Structure 1
């Protein structure tokens, strides 16, 4: 009788030990996978934040996030921009009126989850009058970039990079802001990948 009881107890203990080891192994594997992912990019945990009016900046952001194994966050204005809103040739259009109000900060929907966990932040935007749109300033001024490496990127048909990245850095007041890059509206995926290799 006692022999059967002892045998049963030993069997249960063995199963519990094996289960615990298995759980520990899975946890360790996950941690190793996360560490390997960070080592692969050399930039820690990566976030790619972007605002895109016509889709050009979105394409670049998606390429960066895919290559750098980063998380995407789109800055979506609470009041979306229509085609008429974006007509900078019309003095009565929304973008022209907003441009005339430098302190304007349009609202956007949602926010980044676990902001503090990211080490590197890419920030993308189209160039409007050689500057980032006001809604990008809304995002930048609402976040603390201390301890983060920040890499601006932008798209434009004809405007040069200018000092748009520097002005965002001033608005942020914190973070290690890098020199930004400007891509043409029709930038290819290979151009973006080649830029990333040089970082």
Structure 2
């Protein structure tokens, strides 16, 4: 089995819980993508056109700064987890992708979402980074029993 790194961004804790379960149950390494400035509940109010998340998501070139990045060179597969914002990956995921060398790696994206699926998120990332190898993504609602098979076999 190839080496697997589970990375994730979590604004409210839901994605963190899923990422920790996936990594913990399968012995994978884990890395949290942390914004320099944490998101408050007001920042995440998608109904407010002036909220931080709305402003960031409306500017496709915006890259929220992250506290640190990590060395992915030892891993064959990098899993990237995030909540779905505006039907796609939050722009902080772009910040992370652009901070590491994912060339030659298999990238598996997973999302946490009450309603939105992962397919548009993955196709948006593939369109933004056509040189990278994005595999089929997965949405998790809390039950991660299928994670190992998805990460290691698909």
Say which of 135, 140, 143 aligns to 2:92: 135
What is the distance in 1 between the residues matched to 2:77 and 2:118?
Answer: 21
2:134 is the alignment partner of 1:177:
yes
- Counterpart in 1 of 2:102? 145
Is the partner of 1:66 in helix, strand or coil?
helix
Where does 1:182-197 land on structure 2 (aligned, <5 Å)?
182-184=139-141, 187=142, 191-197=143-149
Say which of 93, 97, 120 aligns to 2:51: 93
Checking the alignment, whether the CA contact within 8 Å between 1:49 and 1:73 is kept in structure 2 is: yes
TM-fit CA distance, 1:169: 2.9
What is the distance in 2 between the residues matched to 1:133 and 1:57?
Answer: 12
What is the distance in 2 between the residues matched to 1:58 and 1:151?
Answer: 16
What is the distance in 2 between the residues matched to 1:159 and 1:123?
Answer: 17
TM-fit CA distance, 1:96: 1.3
- Between Structure 1 and Structure 2, the one with more helix by share is 1
What is the distance in 2 between the residues matched to 1:169 and 1:144?
Answer: 15
What is the distance in 1 between the residues matched to 2:24 and 2:4?
Answer: 11
What is the distance in 2 between the residues matched to 1:176 and 1:197?
Answer: 18
Is the partner of 2:73 in helix, strand or coil?
helix
- The structure with the largest alpha-carbon Rg is 1
Q: Which runs of 5+ in 1 are unaligned?
A: 1-41
Pick 1 or 2: higher relative contact order, CA cutoff 8 A, min separation 6. 2
Superposed CA offset, 1:13-37 (max 9, x none): xxxxxxxxxxxxxxxxxxxxxxxxx
Q: TM-score, normalised by structure 1?
A: 0.70
Name the Cα RMSD after superposition.
1.6
TM-fit CA distance, 1:50: 0.4
